[in-house]
Amino acid sequence: MLELIEPEAEVFNVWEVRKDFPILSQIVNGKDLVYLDNANTTQKPECVIQALDTYYREYNSNIHRATHTLSARADKAFDEGRKTVQHFLQAARSEEIIFVRNATEGINLVAQTYGRKFIGEGDEILISAMEHHANIVPWQILCEEKGAILKVIPINDNGEIIYEEYLRLLGPRTKIVGIVQMSNALGTINPVKQMIADAHQIGIPVLVDAAQSAYHMKVDVQDLDCDFLVFSGHKVYGPTGIGVLYGKRHLLEVMPPWMGGGDMIRSVTFERTIFAELPFKFEAGTPHIAGVIGLTAAINYITALGLDKIALYEADLMEYGTNVLSQVPDLTIIGNASEKASVLSFVMRDVHPHDIGTVLDEEGIAVRTGQHCAHPVMQRFGVSATVRASLACYNTKDELDRLVDGLSKVYEIFG
Amino acid sequence: MSELRELYQEVILDHNKKPRNFYELKDANHVAQGHNPLCGDNVSVFVLIEDNIIKDVSFTGSGCAISKASASLMTSIVKGKTTDEAEVLFGQFHDLVTTSTTPEDIESLGKLAVFSGVREYPARVKCASLAWHTLHAALISEDSAVSTE
C-alpha cells in the first residue's frame, strides 16, 4: 500500500521575512527600530517599492486612453491588479472589484450610492459599538440627509459583540448592516459569517470592513457571502492611497454612480450621459495606477508567504505578547475577546498613553497612542485613550521583550 | 534618556501629579473648552476677569503629563496679570515650544521655561499649547470651544 508522506511544513522564518522590509533595519533614537504600529499602517516589502519604481521609470502612462506601447503595458498591469485582488478576495468576477482610495472611501461610496437610493426616512442602519469612525460617520451623514436611524450593537466587557442584541436589533426597518471584521482598537475578530447569514435570513445586505483583517487572515467574500467588503492597500503592505470596494455584481449594477467624470462614461452629450459598465462606472478620472501596481505586488508577496502561515505565526506572537504584557505591573489590557488578533491595546495606571508613547519612542519603539479613530470604544471602556502595540508578520518576540523593557522606563520617570 | 529628562522635568512631573488650580471656578465670567481629538486631551479653562485683570483662573479636564502640567503652570502664572499681559505670555510660550528661543527669552518666561524641552518633540507641541489656546479663547469670548486640530 502506498503511503502518502506529507511534506514537512515549511517553517515561517521571520528573520528572512524581515530582510524583505528595508525600513526595519534602521536606528531610531540610537536604538534598533521596533515597529509596532502596524494597525495604523504596515511597512512595505522591497518588491512593492520596486514595483512602484519600475512603473514610474519604465512604463508610466495613462490607462484606457492611448494606443502606445507604454500605455498598453500600464493597461495590462492595471487589469492584472484587478484580477489579483479578485483572487485575493475569492470574488466571483473581476468587475466586482472597484478601486478606491481606501476603506473609508469604499464605505462612503456605498453609503452615498446604495444608501441614498435604498435607505429612506425611518429606515435603520445597524453597526456595532466597536466600529472605526470610517464605519460610523458616513452612515451618520446619510441618516442626517434621509432621516434614517443609526442603531448600534452593544459590546461586552471583553470587547465582543453581544450576539443576542444583534439578533434583537435586526428588524423589518433595518436596511443595511455595517460590521468590522477585526477591531482596530481592540483586536476582536467578529463572527461576520454568522452575522451575515442571520442578516440574510431577513434579506438585509451586509457591508464588512476588512481594513484590519485583510492582512491577518484569509478573507473569502464568497464564503462569507458578504454584499460589500472594503479594505485599504496600505495595511496589506501596499501603498497608501489605494483601496478596494468589493460589491456583489447585482448590487453594484443597481447603484447609481458616485463621482462623475472621465473613464466612467460610455458616451456623453450635453443632453445625456450613458455610464460605463462595471467596474468603470465607479472609477471616475485617472485612477491611482501606481497604487494598483504596488498593491498587486503586496498581495503577491503575502500570498507567497501564505496568509495561513502568517496567521499562525502572528497568533503565537500575540499569545507571547499578551503574556509578557500581563506581567507588567499595573498594566491593563483593553479588549480580551476570545477571538482576537494582532492588537494589544492597554493602559498603565494613571500614566497618560501619550506620555508612554513618547518614552517608548525614545527607545526606538513605535506604537500608536490615542483614541484610534474609535471614540465610542474609548467611551465604552471608560478610558480617554490607550497605548496600542499592533503586530505584523515581521515582528518578533525579541521586539515584544523590547516593548516590555521600554515600559519599565515609564515607571522610572512617572514613579 | 537625557532628552527625555529634559522634557519631563521635575517641575512638570510635580504639576502633573498635583495640578494647581484644578477645579471649576464657580464665579468665572469667561469659560472655554479645548479639545485635541487625536489624543483625546480635553481642558476647560475658567477665568474671572475684573477691570481687564485676571482675578482668578482655574482648569479641569484630562490629558497627558505635558498638557496637565502646562495648564497647571499657566493658571499659576497668569493669575493677577492683565489680559494683555496674558496674551503676550501666550505668544512667548508658543515661541518657546515651537521655535528656537534665546536664553534671555527663556529666562524671561520664568517657570514656564521648563517647557523648553517640548520643541524637541514636535508631536507634543499641541499637548503643551492646548491650555493656552483655550485660555486665549476664554479671554476673547464668554463661552467658546477651541481645538488644536
Using CA coordinates, name the residue in chain A closest to B1: A362
In this complex, do A354 and B8 lie within 8 Å of one another by their Cβ atoms?
Answer: no
pLDDT at B15: 95
| B4 close to A (CB below 8 A) | yes
The 10 Å Cβ neighbour count of residue A118 is 14
pLDDT tops 90 at residue A351? yes
Nearest CB among B4, B38, B64 relative to A352 is that of B64
Q: Which residue of A has its CA nearest to B15?
A: A414
Give the percent of chain A with pLDDT over 90.
89
Q: Any idea what the CATH number is for the domain that residue B62 is in?
A: 3.90.1010.10
Which amino acid, A291?
Answer: G
Using the beta-carbon criterion (under 8 Å), do B1 and A362 form an inter-chain contact? yes
Could you tell me the pLDDT band of residue A384, with boundaries at 50, 70 and 90?
Answer: confident
CB contact under 8 A, A371 and B41: no
In percent, the amount of chain A with pLDDT more than 70 equals: 98
Q: A415 vs B13: CB contact, 8 Å cut-off? A: yes
By the CB < 8 Å criterion, does B124 face chain A?
yes
pLDDT value for B148: 53
Query: Would you state the cell numbers that stand for residue A183, as one nine-digit string?
Result: 477591531
A288-317 tens-digit pLDDT: 999 999 999 999 999 999 999 999 999 999
- Assess whether A373 carries a catalytic annotation: yes
DSSP annotation string for B30-44: EEEEEEETTTTEEEE
Q: Establish how many alpha carbons lie within 13 A of residue A211's alpha carbon, considering only the half-sphere containing its beta carbon.
A: 29
Structure confidence by residue, pLDDT tens digits, A68-78 = 999 999 999 99
Boundaries of domain holding B8: 2-145
Question: How far is Cα of residue A375 from the mean position of the Cα atoms in its chain?
Answer: 18
Please name the member of A354, A384, A413 whose beta carbon is closest to the beta carbon of B4.
A413
Q: How many residues does chain A have?
A: 415
Are A352 and B7 within 8 A, CB to CB? no
Q: How far is A261 from chain B (nearest CA, A)?
A: 33
Query: What string of DSSP letters covers A80-143?
Result: HHHHHHHHHHT-S-GGGEEEESSHHHHHHHHIIIIIHHH--TT-EEEEETT--GGGTHHHHHHH
Beta partners for A388? A345, A368
Determine if the peptide bond prior to A138 is cis (ω within 30°): no
Whether residue B39 has pLDDT greater than 90: no
Decide: residue A338, CB within 10 A, 0-12 exposed, 13-18 middle, 19+ buried. Answer: exposed
Report the interhelical angle of A307-326 vs A397-414 (nearest 10°).
Answer: 30
Residues from chain B contacting residue A380 (CB–CB below 8 Å): none
Asked if B1 has any chain A CB less than 8 Å from its own CB, the reply is yes
Cβ A355–B3 below 8 Å, yes or no? no
What is the CATH code of the structural domain delimited by A49-304? 3.40.640.10
Residue contact B62–A384, C-beta within 8 A: yes
Under the banding of pLDDT at 50, 70 and 90, the label for residue B144 is very low
pLDDT of residue A345: 97
Among B4, B37, B39, the residue with its CB nearest the CB of A354 is: B39
Query: What integer pLDDT is reported at residue A51 of this predicted model?
Result: 98
Cβ atoms of A247 and A110 closer than 8 Å: yes
Q: Please, are residues A94 and A221 in contact by the beta-carbon 8 Å criterion?
A: no
Chain B residues with beta carbon closer than 8 angstroms to that of A415: 13
Asked if the model's pLDDT at residue A333 lies above 60, the reply is yes
Q: What is the mean pLDDT of residues A53-67?
A: 93
* pLDDT per position as a tens digit, A234-292: 999 999 999 999 999 999 999 999 999 888 888 898 888 889 999 999 999 999 999 99
Report B:13-52 residues touching A (Cβ under 8 A): 13, 37-41
Chain length of chain B:
149
The span from the first CA to the last CA of chain B, in angstroms, equals 29
The alpha carbon of residue A382 is apart from the nearest alpha carbon of chain B, in Å, by 12
Contacts of A382 (CB under 8 A, 6+ apart): none
Greater model confidence, B107 or A171? A171
Q: Report how many domains make up chain B.
A: 1
Query: Which of A136, A347, A354 is most worth mutating to test chain B (most B CB atoms within 10 A of its CB)?
Result: A354
Alpha-carbon distance of A300 to A198, in angstroms, equals 33
Q: Does domain A14-40+306-414 have CATH number 3.90.1150.10?
A: yes
ipTM: 0.84
Computed over every residue of chain B, the mean pLDDT equals 88
pLDDT of residue B145: 45
CB contact under 8 A, A371 and B39: yes
Catalytic pick among A47, A143, A226, A373: A373
Q: What pLDDT score was predicted for residue A133?
A: 96
Q: Provide the grid cell at A131.
A: 466600529
Q: Is the Cβ pair B39, A353 closer than 8 Å?
A: yes
pLDDT for position A6: 54
C-beta atoms surrounding A128 within 10 Å: 29
Q: What pTM did the predictor assign?
A: 0.92
Cell numbers that stand for B21 in this block: 488650580
Amino acid A320 reads Y
Q: Which B residues in the span 64-123 are in contact with A, Cβ-Cβ below 8 Å?
A: 64-66, 68, 121, 123
What distance in Å separates the CA atoms of residue A24 and residue A32, rounded to the nearest whole number? 8
Highest mean pLDDT, choosing among A3-17, A196-210, B108-122: A196-210
Task: Give the end-to-end CA distance of chain A in Å, rounded to a whole number.
Answer: 70
Which H or E run includes A368? strand A368-370
Beta-carbon neighbour count of residue A385 at 10 Å?
26
**For A312-333, what is the mean pLDDT?**
97
Q: Please provide the DSSP assignment of B81-141 as one string.
A: SBHHHHHHHHHHHHHHHHS---HHHHHHTGGGGGGGGGGG-GGGHHHHHHHHHHHHHHHHS
What residue ranges do the domains of chain A occupy? 14-40+306-414, 49-304
